[in-house]
């Protein structure tokens, strides 16, 4: 099984190259022994004899004994470690070379270079966390908003895993009850009536359905939404992008058509991670470069979850209309430069349109309200406790028809068929938290991790 062997010792750089500190991670039965080949404590005591989970100052060196850096090392003793195995972390100065030399020395001594996510995969295989918790590690690393980060943290704490395990365990009990009635039909045991079992199943379906309904939140928070700023040239798209970002990213220019290409930035709007895309102004192109930019702008609009169509409030709306074939897109109309309206005049906004000034920041809150409504479809007042991701949702969907079928079978007094349907429901649900799981599913999940995680 790929990456599933836990009898070898793996090593990898756990920090990106170029930081102030570089951490090399080693995990497996020979972690301490291997670390001792490349790291010596200042007081010359072997690492194995130094207290675990305490940082010790020493030196890292090459096999020939030449010290290359002053480093800290910490030892974790199985099972009290991230992976559940013996582990060592060596903290050296950042900059790449030190860490790479330490890693090379470890590999020369027999460690294997870890695959992406292999430390976390081992943590899962050793029962340190369930699969939803392992996935939360990647979610946290990749989170683009505080709301997404907090969702990841709750999942890491096991909230989603516990809910799924609750459903799984209650289903298993139900199955055991149905099977005992099948195995010992004539015994004088007290039988739970089919009606009662069916109503327990109905409750479980409701819980499953509620988890499924958190899918939108899960997908939005994990993947973010793309928000495309489009409109005629010079209406203030780049200025609006900067206003949303709160800093100067795009180059604002008073000549029309300066944003020839698309610019992308991550931001968050009311906790929603957004990929903000600024596009070239849309008008009759005057040359090939411009027309390529416009083509890219139109392509971004087609793929956007929200298109913010910006116009200049002072100019006639007919001349700034969106191309008619885009009418079916999720469009939010924004009238910019409202600071330029004569005092006391009402802006010509139609229903659903928002008036803003990228210059003064007026109207941005209303713009954020509108984006929030478009993304969540409803006002979003509470942060989700748990929210399933695409993988979880697909498995829950798969279980639903079997749950319904099992309920009907129980009502029809067909326990054999109910048992089959219950087993069919248990399998996909068990795959969510990793109770039942196939190695290739693990390969897919952990491939989106970085090396050293
Ligand atoms: P883009 O071509 O649509 O990206 O427009 P820019 O962001 O480059 O802005 C074009 C011009 O309009 C610049 O001179 C900006 O300073 C100006 N501008 C942008 N937003 C506002 C606004 O809200 N109020 C005013 N008064 N000027 C603005």
Q: Which two tokens stand for residue 179?
A: 């099977």
Give domain 145-214+388-433's CATH architecture: Up-down Bundle (1.20)
CATH number listed for the domain at residues 223-376: 3.40.50.300
Mutate to test the pocket of ligand 1, among 229, 232, 234, 355 (most ligand atoms within 8 A of CB): 234
The contacts of residue 10 (CB under 8 Å, 6+ apart) are 26, 27, 28, 111, 112, 113, 114, 118, 119, 122
Residue 183 has a pLDDT of 79
pLDDT in tens, the chain (453 residues): 444 455 799 999 998 887 889 999 999 999 999 999 999 999 889 999 999 999 999 999 876 677 888 999 999 999 999 999 999 999 999 877 888 899 999 999 999 999 999 999 999 999 999 999 999 999 998 898 888 999 999 999 999 999 999 999 999 999 999 998 887 766 666 777 888 999 999 999 999 999 999 999 999 999 899 999 999 999 999 999 999 988 555 555 555 655 556 678 888 898 899 999 998 888 877 888 788 888 888 888 889 999 999 999 998 888 888 888 887 889 999 999 999 988 888 777 788 899 999 999 999 999 999 999 999 887 667 788 999 999 999 999 999 999 999 999 999 999 999 999 999 999 999 999 999 877 888 888 888 888 788
Q: Is the CB of 237 under 6 A from ligand 1?
A: yes
Distance 361 CA to ligand 1 centre (A): 12
pLDDT tens readout for residues 88-140:
999 999 877 888 899 999 999 999 999 999 999 999 999 999 999 999 999 99
Distance 5 CA to ligand 1 centre (A): 59
Q: Is the CB of 363 under 6 A from ligand 1?
A: no
Residue 94 has a pLDDT of 86
Nearest to residue 252, comparing CAs of 230, 234, 266, 276?
Answer: 234
Pairing of strands 10-13, 21-27: antiparallel
Residue 188 has a pLDDT of 62
pLDDT tens readout for residues 242-261:
999 885 555 555 556 555 56
Q: Is the CB of 163 under 6 A from ligand 1?
A: no
Residue 2 has a pLDDT of 42
Q: Is the CB of 261 under 6 A from ligand 1?
A: no
Q: Is the CB of 235 under 6 A from ligand 1?
A: yes
Answering whether pTM is above 0.95, one says no
Domain map (residue ranges) of the chain: 10-130, 145-214+388-433, 223-376
Mutate to test the pocket of ligand 1, among 233, 236, 309 (most ligand atoms within 8 A of CB): 236
Q: Is the CB of 311 under 6 A from ligand 1?
A: no
Distance 337 CA to ligand 1 centre (A): 7
Distance 375 CA to ligand 1 centre (A): 26
Nearest to residue 386, comparing CAs of 182, 156, 166, 205?
Answer: 156
Q: Is the CB of 369 under 6 A from ligand 1?
A: no
Residue 1 has a pLDDT of 40
Q: Is the CB of 358 under 6 A from ligand 1?
A: yes
Q: How far is CA 155 from CA 149, 206, 305, in A?
A: 10, 21, 26
Residue 19 has a pLDDT of 82
Q: How far is CA 165 from CA 204, 208, 365, in A?
A: 12, 12, 41
Q: Is the CB of 281 under 6 A from ligand 1?
A: yes
pLDDT tens readout for residues 54-68:
999 999 987 667 788
Residue 3 has a pLDDT of 42
| Ramachandran bin of 307, using left for φ above 0, alpha for ψ from -120 to 50, beta for the remaining angles | beta
Q: Is the CB of 357 under 6 A from ligand 1?
A: yes
Residue bearing the CA closest to ligand 1, atom 12:
236
Which helix (H) or strand (E) segment is 110 a member of?
Answer: none
Mutate to test the pocket of ligand 1, among 240, 280, 309, 358 (most ligand atoms within 8 A of CB): 358
b vs e for 278-299, b when ≥16 Cβ sit within 10 Å of the residue's Cβ? Answer: bbbbbbeeeeeebeebbebbbe
In ligand 1, the atom with minimum distance to the C-alpha of 340 is 26
Nearest to residue 147, comparing CAs of 227, 214, 224?
Answer: 224
Residue 197, number of CB atoms within 10 A of its CB? 25
Distance 312 CA to ligand 1 centre (A): 9
Q: Is the CB of 249 under 6 A from ligand 1?
A: no
CATH class of 10-130: alpha beta
């Amino acid at each position: 099984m790929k990456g599933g062997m836990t009898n070898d010792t793996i090593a990898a750089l756990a920090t990106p190259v170029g930081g102030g500190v570089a951490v090399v991670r080693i995990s497996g039965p020979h972690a301490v022994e291997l670390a001792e080949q490349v790291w010596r404590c200042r007081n010359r005591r072997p690492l194995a004899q130094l207290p675990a989970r305490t940082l010790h100052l020493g030196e890292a060196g090459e096999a020939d004994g030449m010290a290359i850096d002053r480093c800290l090392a910490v030892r974790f003793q199985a099972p009290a470690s991230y992976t559940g195995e013996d582990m060592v972390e060596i903290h050296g100065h950042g900059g790449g070379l030190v860490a790479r030399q330490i890693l090379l020395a470890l590999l020369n001594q027999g460690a294997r270079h870890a695959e992406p996510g292999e430390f976390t995969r081992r943590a899962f295989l050793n029962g340190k966390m369930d699969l939803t918790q392992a996935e939360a590690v990647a979610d946290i690393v990749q989170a683009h908003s505080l709301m997404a980060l907090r969702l990841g943290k709750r999942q890491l704490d096991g909230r989603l895993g516990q809910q799924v395990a609750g459903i799984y365990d209650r289903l298993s009990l139900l199955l055991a009850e149905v099977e005992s009635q099948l195995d010992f039909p004539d015994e004088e045991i007290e039988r739970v009536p089919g009606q009662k079992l069916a109503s327990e199943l109905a409750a479980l379906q409701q819980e499953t359905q509620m988890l499924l309904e958190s899918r939108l939140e899960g997908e939005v928070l994990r993947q973010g939404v793309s928000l495309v700023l489009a409109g005629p040239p010079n209406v203030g798209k780049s200025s609006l992008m900067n206003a949303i970002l709160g800093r100067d990213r795009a180059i604002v220019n008073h000549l029309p058509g300066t944003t020839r290409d698309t610019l992308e930035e991550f931001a968050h709007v009311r906790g929603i991670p957004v990929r903000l895309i600024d596009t070239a102004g849309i008008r009759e192109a005057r040359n090939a470069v411009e027309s390529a930019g416009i083509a890219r702008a139109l392509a971004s609009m087609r793929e956007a979850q929200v298109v913010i169509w910006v116009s200049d409030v002072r100019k006639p709306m007919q001349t700034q209309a969106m191309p008619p074939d885009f009418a079916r897109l999720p469009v939010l109309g924004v009238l910019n430069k409202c600071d330029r309206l004569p005092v006391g005049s009402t802006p010509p906004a139609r229903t659903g349109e928002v008036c803003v000034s990228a210059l003064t920041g007026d109207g941005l809150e209303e713009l954020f309200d509108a984006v929030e409504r478009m993304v969540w479809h409803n006002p979003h007042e509470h942060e989700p406790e748990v929210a399933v991701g695409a993988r979880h949702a697909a498995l829950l969907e798969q279980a639903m028809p079997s749950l319904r079928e099992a309920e009907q079978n129980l009502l029809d007094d067909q326990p054999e068929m109910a048992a089959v349907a219950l087993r069919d429901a248990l399998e996909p649900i068990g795959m969510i938290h990793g109770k039942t799981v196939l190695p290739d599913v693990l390969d897919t999940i952990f491939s989106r991790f970085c090396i050293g995680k």
